Structure 1
Amino acid sequence: MKKDSVAKSKELTNDIKTILEKYELVNVNKHDFGVYQLSLNRPKVLNALNDELMRQLSDVITLLQNHDARCFVLTGSQKAFAAGGDISEMSGKSYAQVTEEQYVTSIWSKLEQRHIPIVAAVNGLALGGGCELAMLCDIIVAGYSATFGLPEAGLGIIPGAGGTQRLIRAVGKAKAMDVILSGKTLTAIEAERSGLISRVIDDDKVLAEALYIASNIAKRSKPVISMAKKVVDYAHESSLKNGMQYEQQNFYATFALEDQKEGMQAFLERRKPNWQDK
């Protein structure tokens, strides 16, 4: 790892710092290159995901991506990225309540609509909603201690935040069925081999690796990264034919960007590009 490429910690500006103080369940640290580290902060319940935590996470991401964020790193603790949904919150809800509230869907859908990439830095447990949250991110880096799973069927429910849809697209039907129906968990090594996660690394290096990846993303043209993310995401929802057409449209669109001209000219002149983000 090139140390000079890692996003180093920086001070938040006073105005942003003041706004973020009300979000107690998400700790925010700013790093170089517009990288923001977002740390889930419910340690007593292993970062179990309740409505308020997810609402705060959504609000923070929306605020920062409209400010100067170029990439996020989402992490938890050494024991747990997030151990699952908050069962104490869910247990008393009725069919009528979850339907009327659009429980989970109303908040999580906002996270799906973001245009800034998220790198998940996972240690320990990523189960249920925690696994779904990791899969909602764009890249997952995990420590050897990490465990992934969707144990909802053992609680009398099914995954409800994208687990059944994203897992099968990542690991295939057979393994997804095994995880969802039988409660099988995946080690970090198994998850990497199955295509669920990007990199496995020593537990104490996970955050640094995630910040390194995020800094490399953040140093590229912001609109180009946004377009690339959008096209890859679209591949999950379309046929190959439609996906190819969508890729072609966005590929052509990059030639309308000043950054395309700058990037290619910088390559020809053997220098680093000076992105204008337009």
Structure 2
Amino acid sequence: MSYKYVSLDHEGPIAEIFLNRPEVLNAYHLDMLNELKAALKEVFSEDQSKVLMISGRGSKAFSVGADINWLEDLSQKEAKEASWLGKEICNIIEEGDKVVIAAVNGYALGGGMEIALSCDLRLASSRARFGQPEVRLGLVPGFDATQRLPRMIGMGRAKEMLFTGNIIDANTAYEIGLVNRLVTPRDLLRASRKLANNIADQSIQAVGLVKQAINNGVWEGRSAGSSYETEAFGACFDLEEHSKRIEKLRDVIDHD
């Protein structure tokens, strides 16, 4: 499928989706959201890619959120539909069995930041900026920032960001646990691809089960997460990949 407002590329086991409206700092509108949803479904439905990286075209922004020209014309019904679409996109990212890395190259604001929040890992350039400025427009976040952000950085810090709409720099985002790594702008994509390939080298089935166990614990509670972990641990022993990796390890040990 061809896309206009996003691009989808494959580099070996790594799939890469770029938000592709750099002339407006990758601000999204309905067509872009629909394309992003379609691209995500395409990636999660095929077996070629093991890890997905999401970034924004250009050097200035991951995404600054909704296109104001589109946003101001929405009716209440259309706004709710857009919110559900954004939530669906974020849920596809969060609940899918592939690891998703956000490579944040500049501003990640509003729904743009919410998309990054739904990813498993976030790498940010030193020029990155994060914020949920919806309250400054008389709005609330629409893609579940009120749910994900407190779980990620703690309720107090999340409430401060959400109540004030303040934008924080990359160093602050790293200090409060919003991003996993800080790198130079020049190294962002290289570092993100290196991490993606590191993950892809592991048992991707096991990595997917780890992701689901963590998510179950966060969203359903420790008991549910622990039960899922036990079931997943047992299921691994029926995987052909487990047997192959055990045999490979045995060969290494026998030849030492």
Q: TM-score, normalised by structure 2?
A: 0.91
Map residues 243-254 of structure 1 onto 2, 5 A cutoff: 243-254=225-236
What is the DSSP-based 3-state SS (H/G/I as helix, E as strand, rest coil) of the residue aligned with 1:69?
A: coil
CA contact (8 A) 1:131 1:150 kept: yes
- Equivalent of residue 256 in structure 1, options 228, 238, 245: 238
- Equivalent of residue 137 in structure 1, options 115, 119, 122: 119
Residue identity opposite 2:40 in structure 1: I
Q: Comparing 191-200 with 172-181, which one deviates more in the overlay?
A: 191-200
1:115 CA displacement? 2.1
Determine if the alignment matches structure 1 residue 57 to structure 2 residue 36.
yes
Structure-2 separation of matches of 1:103 and 1:228: 27
What is the DSSP-based 3-state SS (H/G/I as helix, E as strand, rest coil) of the residue aligned with 2:54?
A: strand
Q: TM-score, normalised by structure 1?
A: 0.84
1:111 CA displacement? 3.9
Residue identity opposite 1:94 in structure 2: S
Q: Comparing 73-82 with 242-251, which one deviates more in the overlay?
A: 242-251
Counterparts in 2 of 1:99 and 1:135: CA distance versus 1, 3 Å: closer
CA contact (8 A) 2:123 2:179 kept: yes
- Equivalent of residue 95 in structure 1, options 61, 76, 92: 76
1:228 CA displacement? 1.4
Residues 147-201 of structure 1, C-alpha deviation per residue, up to 9 Å, x if partnerless?
1110001111101101111110110011001100012222212112211111001
Counterpart of 1:23 in structure 2 is 3
Counterpart of 1:221 in structure 2 is 203
CA contact (8 A) 2:217 2:225 kept: yes
Gaps of 5+ in 2: none
Calculate percent identity across the aligned residue pairs. 30
Determine if the alignment matches structure 1 residue 36 to structure 2 residue 15.
yes
Residues 95-141 of structure 1, C-alpha deviation per residue, up to 9 Å, x if partnerless?
23334664533554444443222111111100111110111111100
- Equivalent of residue 78 in structure 1, options 56, 59, 70: 59
1:254 CA displacement? 1.0
The structure carrying a bigger helix percent of its residues is 2
RMSD of equivalent CA atoms: 1.8
Structure-2 separation of matches of 1:223 and 1:217: 11
What is the DSSP-based 3-state SS (H/G/I as helix, E as strand, rest coil) of the residue aligned with 1:237?
A: helix
Structure-1 separation of matches of 2:167 and 2:54: 21
Residue identity opposite 2:183 in structure 1: I
Counterparts in 2 of 1:142 and 1:246: CA distance versus 1, 3 Å: same
Map residues 147-162 of structure 1 onto 2, 5 A cutoff: 147-162=129-144
Structure-2 separation of matches of 1:143 and 1:106: 27
Counterpart of 1:116 in structure 2 is 98
